[in-house]
């Protein structure tokens, strides 16, 4: 069984000697919903930018690096190509 951790006293001597310090949060490496969403948008914008400059192969490679598999990357690039076509049709 682990020993109970007592609060440090702030004194230099004694059983609980040392600075009182806050424990590191367990959620330190946790990705927030907002951050995940922003990163997603940034990735998509980079892919769209590459596609607009006719760098399809580079767009697929970037998507593959971000998404993990080439199949997912191809699907995402197709989705972004359709998005560009729709926005052109809409006149934006």
Tell me the CATH number at 50: 1.10.10.1760
Name every residue whose Cβ is closer than 8 Å to that of residue 40 and which is 6 or more positions away in sequence.
Answer: none
In a domain, 50, yes or no: yes
In a domain, 79, yes or no: yes
In a domain, 65, yes or no: yes
How many CA within 13 A on the CB side of residue 4? 3
**Residue 50 belongs to domain spanning:** 33-90
In a domain, 42, yes or no: yes
In a domain, 72, yes or no: yes
**Axis crossing angle, helix 70-90 with helix 56-67, rounded to the nearest 10:** 130
pLDDT of amino acid 1: 55
State pTM to two decimals.
Answer: 0.65
Q: State the average pLDDT over residues 11-30.
A: 84
Domain count, the chain: 1
Q: What is the rounded CA–CA span in Å between residue 40 and residue 31?
A: 12
Chain segment 22-79, per-residue pLDDT in tens: 888 787 788 999 999 999 999 999 999 999 999 999 999 999 999 999 999 999 999 9
In a domain, 54, yes or no: yes
């Amino acid at each position: 069984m682990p020993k109970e951790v007592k609060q440090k006293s702030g004194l230099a001597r004694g059983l609980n000697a040392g600075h009182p310090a806050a424990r590191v949060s367990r959620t330190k490496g946790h990705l927030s919903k907002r951050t995940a969403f922003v990163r997603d948008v940034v990735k998509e914008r980079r892919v769209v930018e590459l596609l607009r400059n006719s760098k399809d192969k580079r767009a697929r490679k970037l998507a593959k690096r971000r998404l993990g598999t080439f199949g997912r990357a191809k699907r995402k690039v197709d989705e972004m190509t359709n998005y560009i076509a729709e926005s052109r049709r809409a006149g934006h």
